[in-house]
Chain A
Amino acid sequence: MEDLWSAVLRMGAVWLALVFVLIVLPSALGISLGISEAYMWALVKTLEWATIRIEKGNQRPPPQKPKSPAPNGIIERDKTPMEQEIARLRQTDFEFSDIFYFCRKGFEAIVEDEVTQRFSSEELVSWNLLTRTNVNFHYISLRLSVLWGLGVLVRYCLLLPLRFTLASIGVTSMIVGTTLVGQLPNSRLKNYLSEVVHLTCSRILVRALSGTIHYHNKENRPQKGGICVANHTSPIDAIILTNDGCYAMVGQVHGGLMGVIQRATVKACPHVWFERSEMKDRHLVTKRLREHVADKSKLPILIFPEGTCINNTSVMMFKKGSFEIGGTIYPVAIKYDPQFGDAFWNSSKYNIVSYLLRIMTSWAIVCNVWYMPPMVREEGEDAVQFANRVRSAIARQGGLTELPWDGGLKRAKVKDTFKEEQQKNYSKMLVKRGSVG
């Protein structure tokens, strides 16, 4: 019995030592040993093989073509504007024909609407050997199933414990490190150490997710005294960005583990955490952020203006509050590759714990981050127009579509002001004809 115990303890010690040497130390020093790259290479090869097998299997009857996703919809939408289409339909003076147009639009909306689509995960081109994405794929061959079984084993028995260990190490060192640094008096040394701690812990956490991140245009990285703005897909977005630079986070104070982290980090670095009651007062929020931005020695603040997680195929309305603060905006576009793991957090379907579990049992998180040249509000541009301009730039860079909708529609209904627009348009047309005819 004792031998067994000592054997287990020794294995545990070896395990921790390996983790420390191979992962934690390189993170601290900012170098890479190439283990992630090797893993990704093996993964890509395996998935390619799986894809070929699936396509071969699908070649049986012609209608069974390999399924392609339609990130922008499954039905063909006629984009002609209302006036043109109604004019075409109207052969006579009847309003009967107008019903066609609205009927069809109504049906299109019922079959598929642009908004709800964005709050569910993107569909994949070919199966990536995860059951959770197996919506369209059926049993193909024994070899594929064996591979899938192996995949489950690898993911749950090898990767999950590893990632969990790393995540715990990362979070613990963040709390301990920032508390220690927070004891120092304010000085350049403190700032430097705070940056080191934050960067190291971010790197460990990214490795905990098997994250492979490609940063583009690093020369446009956000500078001090600026505001960094990005599209929001998941809570991991913050870690992805802090992996490559230091930011002052903005957010609400939470309870539990998150609250502990927040309280610890704010001692080392001037993050901006708001109480729930303060969040309701927009002026207070804007004032505090403005003070932060005005101080040019402070780190750039990180804001996600969509306000909620979207599924990374589109960018929804940016709330104008972030754009009223002033200062320089550094837009950043983040695009995840869904082939290796779905990063989108569907908060109405999964809570944070099951979300983290899903992330840690995916193959990897692969994403591209584009830093874009800074933008400032121009003369005569109001906050909303500026927000839309920044949003278009981000959407174009990341290859995402733009939607004028509010992310809040995940939970609420359409505002009446939106409805009236379309109805006014139509009735204007009708009255004109009615008075002539």
Chain B
Amino acid sequence: LGCPLELTPHHLSASPTVTSEQIEHLHRRFKQLSRDQLTIRKENFDSIPDLEFNPIRGKIVHAFFDKRNLRQESEGLADEINFEDFLTIMSYFRPIEMNMDEEQLDRFRKEKLKFLFHMYDSDHDGKITLQEYRNVVEELLSGNPHLEKESARSIADGAMMEAASICVGQMGPDQVYEGITFEDFLKMWQGIDIETKMHVRFLTMETIAHCY
């Protein structure tokens, strides 16, 4: 009755915190979402009521099918993903472990930031342009019909200028800021602790209270 996993996701095996029972939980969830099929498509994410609230729902679902996140060589979007792909995406949200060394932590952080970067960079060209940034802000604000498109624009423009000032410093009058590359992105997040924010932690046995 266990999951038919002959394959062990190689990138997960390095992480002892993703236990086999967590994989079983996720497998059950996968089966629920896929309605007992072997793969999930974008439409399957429509059945999650809690996700409906999320303004960047589109981007999150998109991230599951983004081939860059799936560590595949080709570009673009996959049509459907299987359980191994599902786990690959989930692994971006692993919590930190106590016994990680500097190098591991750094790699960990880079992975998470890369995931976020891909969310913003929708045309896969390796740069977050002003237009892409505006798209994201508009999506975040999409719920409020009273907000003018102009306000969304100005928020995006202001933020982009700040990003430019951090990454490039003072720009000359004829310098054009093309877009935020991944290195710039990393620079923006220096010193800010994101690893502890961007994770989903499974409950361990001791913390559950019995109500009997």
A residues neighboring B (CB under 8 Å): 63, 65-71, 73-76, 89, 91-96, 98-100, 102-116, 120, 125, 134-136, 399, 405, 409, 413-414, 418-424, 426-428, 430-431, 434, 437
Chain B residue contacts of A110, Cβ below 8 A: 29, 33, 45, 48, 51, 60
User: B56 touching A423 by the CB < 8 A rule?
Assistant: no
Choose the segment among B100-108, B170-178, B201-209 that binds chain A (4+ C-beta atoms closer than 8 Å): B201-209
Q: Number of contact residues on B: which range applies?
A: 35 or more
Say if the beta carbon of B1 comes within 8 Å of chain A.
Answer: yes
B23 at interface, CB cutoff 8 A: no
Find out whether the CB atom of B137 lies under 8 angstroms from the CB atom of A94. Answer: no
Q: If A92-B162, A107-B60, A419-B53 touch, does A434 touch B154 (CB 8 Å cutoff)?
A: yes
Docked-complex contact A116 and B49, CB < 8 angstroms: yes
- Of B26, B49, B136, B203, which contacts A76 at CB under 8 A? B203
Any A CB within 8 A of the CB of B167: no
Give the residues in chain A near B155, CB-CB below 8 Å. Answer: 95, 430, 434
Extra A-B contacts (13), CB below 8 Å, given A95-B136, A113-B48, A136-B21 = A95-B140, A95-B159, A96-B116, A100-B194, A103-B56, A104-B198, A109-B48, A109-B54, A409-B49, A419-B52, A422-B54, A424-B143, A434-B154
Partner of B46, one of A71, A93, A413: A413
Bound Cα distance from A92 to B158, whole angstroms: 12
Tell me if B142 counts as interface (CB < 8 A to partner A). Answer: yes
Asked whether B60 lies within 8 Å of A70 as measured between CB atoms, the reply is: no
Chain B residues within 8 Å of A65, by CB: 205
Known: A405-B49, A422-B53. A75 touches B203 (CB 8 A): yes
B14 at the interface (CB under 8 A from A): no
CB-based contact A135/B1 at 8 Å:
yes
Residue of A nearest to B143 (CB): A423
Q: Determine the distance from Cα of A32 to Cα of B123 in the docked complex, in whole angstroms.
A: 74
Give, as a whole number of angstroms, the nearest-CB distance from B43 to chain A.
12
Write out the residue numbers on chain B whose beta carbons fall within 8 Å of the beta carbon of A95. Answer: 136-137, 140, 155, 159
What residues on B are CB-neighbors of A100 within 8 Å? 116, 194, 197-198
Q: Are the CB atoms of B141 and A430 closer together than 8 Å? A: yes
Q: Does B188 contact A (CB under 8 A)?
A: yes
Q: How far does the alpha carbon of A134 sit from the alpha carbon of B46 in the complex, in Å?
A: 30
B163–A422 contact, CB under 8 A?
Answer: no
Within the complex, which residue of A68, A91, A107, A418 is in contact with B205, where a contact is CB–CB below 8 Å? A68
- State whether A75 touches B60 (Cβ < 8 A): no
Residue of A nearest to B55 (CB): A423
Residue of B nearest to A406 (CB): B49
Q: How far is the CA of A148 from the CA of B208 in the complex (A)?
A: 29
- B53 and A418: CB pair below 8 A? yes
Q: Which of A67, A99, A427 contacts B144 (CB 8 A)?
A: A427
Give the distance in Å from the alpha carbon of A108 to the alpha carbon of B60 in the complex.
11
In the bound complex, do residue B54 and residue A102 qualify as a contact, i.e. CB atoms below 8 Å apart?
A: yes
Q: Is the CB of A74 within 8 A of B56?
A: no
Of the candidates A67, A92, A399, the one whose C-beta lies within 8 Å of that of B21 is: A67
5 examples of A-B residue contacts, CB within 8 angstroms = A95-B137, A108-B200, A114-B50, A427-B141, A431-B144
Tell me, in angstroms, the Cα distance from A108 to B202 when the chains sit together: 10
Q: Give complex CA distance A66, B204 in Å.
A: 12
User: Is A112 touching B29 in the complex (CB atoms < 8 A)?
Assistant: yes
Q: Which of B144, B210, B211 contacts A423 (CB 8 A)?
A: B144
Please give the distance in Å from B24's CB to the nearest CB on chain A.
8
Q: Which chain A residues lie closer than 8 Å to B144 at the CB level?
A: 423-424, 426-428, 431
B211 touches A93 (CB 8 A): no
> Which chain A residue shows the least CB distance to B32?
A116
B147 within 8 A of A: yes
Knowing A70-B208, A89-B197, the reply to whether A418 touches B52 (Cβ < 8 A) is yes
* Residue among A75, A106, A421 with most chain B CB within 10 A: A106
Return the CB mask of B157-168 against A: 1 if under 8 Å, else 0.
011001100000
